[in-house]
Amino acid sequence: MKVAVVGATGLVGTKMLQVLAERNFPVTELFPVASERSVGKEVEFKGKKYKVVSATDAIAARPAIALFSAGGSTSLEWAPKFAAAGVTVIDNSSAWRMDPTKKLVVPELNADVLGKEDKIIANPNCSTIQMVVALNALHRQYKVRRIVVSTYQSVTGTGVKAVTQLMNERQGVKGEMAYKYPIDMNAIPQIDVFLDNGYTKEEMKMVNETRKIMRDDSIRVTATTVRIPVIGGHSESVNVEFEKEFDLEEVRALLCKTPGVVVVDDPATQQYPMPKDAHERDEVFVGRLRRDETQPRTLNMWVVSDNLRKGAATNAVQIAEYLNKHKLI
C-alpha cells in the first residue's frame, strides 16, 4: 500500500511516521511530503531513509492514503487535488472538520459513518478527541446534557517553535517566540484567535466538534482552553451533566471497559492521570471521578492524553486501519 504523509517534517508528521511503523501499517511505498524548501531532505521510516517529495510528485505516485498534518491552508489547497486523483485523505487540520459533507471521525465512536465515497476525512481537534473517548460510553448509558471543560494544554500542540521557546526560557536563552508572552512558569488562557463571541477558536472547536462526533446537537458545551508549560500531553477538567442518574461505581466500571481508556483513580494513594505518564502512550487516562455536589446527575472527571499521539497521529492512523480492514480504500 502506497502512503503519503503531508507535513512529514513537522511534529505531528514525524509522529505519524513513528505510529505507522509501531503499528505495522502495511506501507509498501512511502512518500514524505513537505514544503518546497524541504524537498530533497530525508526522513527515516522503519530504519530506511526516504527523500521528501513535493505534493505534485506524491499525487503522481497515486498513493492509496495521504495523511495530512501541514496546516489548514495547505489542506484546503491540496486535499481536494489528492482526492481528485483517487487518494483518500485523512486530514489533521481544522480545514474540513465542520464541513457538513465531510466525516469527522474518532474510530472508537463513529468509524461506522465512513464509506468508499469519503475521500477527505477529518481528524478532530486533539482536545476534543480525548474528551469524547472518555465520555462515549457514559453518553450511551446516561445521555450527556451539558459539558463544562477547562483544558491545560501542552506546548507541543503549538509545534516545534513553542517547544523551543519553553526550553529557551528554562535555560535563560533569548530566542524566537511562539507566544506573545513567556510560557515557562506561566499559563496563557488563549489558544488560537479570539472570535466575536469572546471565545477562542480552540474553545469553539470543542463545542462544535463534540456535537458532530457524538451525533447529538442537543449537547451543550462550554470550554476554556489554556496553554501551560508542559510537554507530554493535554489535561482536561471535565464537568458533565447527564439526563439520567448515575452510580459512581457503575461509571468507573463503564470507563474500565471502554476501548482506549485507562482509569487511574485512587485518591488514597494519590493515583491520578498526569501528562508525564501519558507521554508516548495512545490511551486516554481518566481519574478524579467524583460527583458534583452542587447539582444533580453531574460528574467531575480529569482526562489526560498525549496530544501528538491519540490527539493527532494515532487517531489518523487508526482511521487508516479501519479503512483498510473494511476495504474502503
- Neighbour tally for 165: CB within 10 Å: 22
Strand-pairing partners, residue 321, are: none
Residue pair 75/99 in contact (Cβ under 8 Å)? The answer is: no
- Catalytic site residue from 139, 234, 279, 326: 234
326 is catalytic: no
Nearest to 128 by CA among 204, 201, 210, 197: 210
* Nearest Cα residue to 157 out of 97, 94, 98, 216: 94
- Residue 158's nearest CA partner among 175, 173, 177 is 177
What is the dihedral sign for C-alpha 244, 248, 250, 253? positive
**Residue 15: how many CA atoms within 13 Å on its side-chain side?**
28
φ and ψ at 47, to 5 degrees? Answer: 80, 0
C-alpha neighbours within 13 Å on the C-beta side of residue 43: 25
Contact 320, 124 (CB under 8 A): no
Buried b (16+ CB within 10 A) or exposed e, 205-232: bbbbbbbbbbeeeebebebbbebbbbeb
Q: Does the annotation count 234 as an active-site position?
A: yes
Determine the Cα–Cα distance for residues 329 and 327; give it in Å rounded to an integer: 6
**If you search the block for the grid coordinates 501542552, which residue do you land on?**
154
Catalytic residues: 126, 234
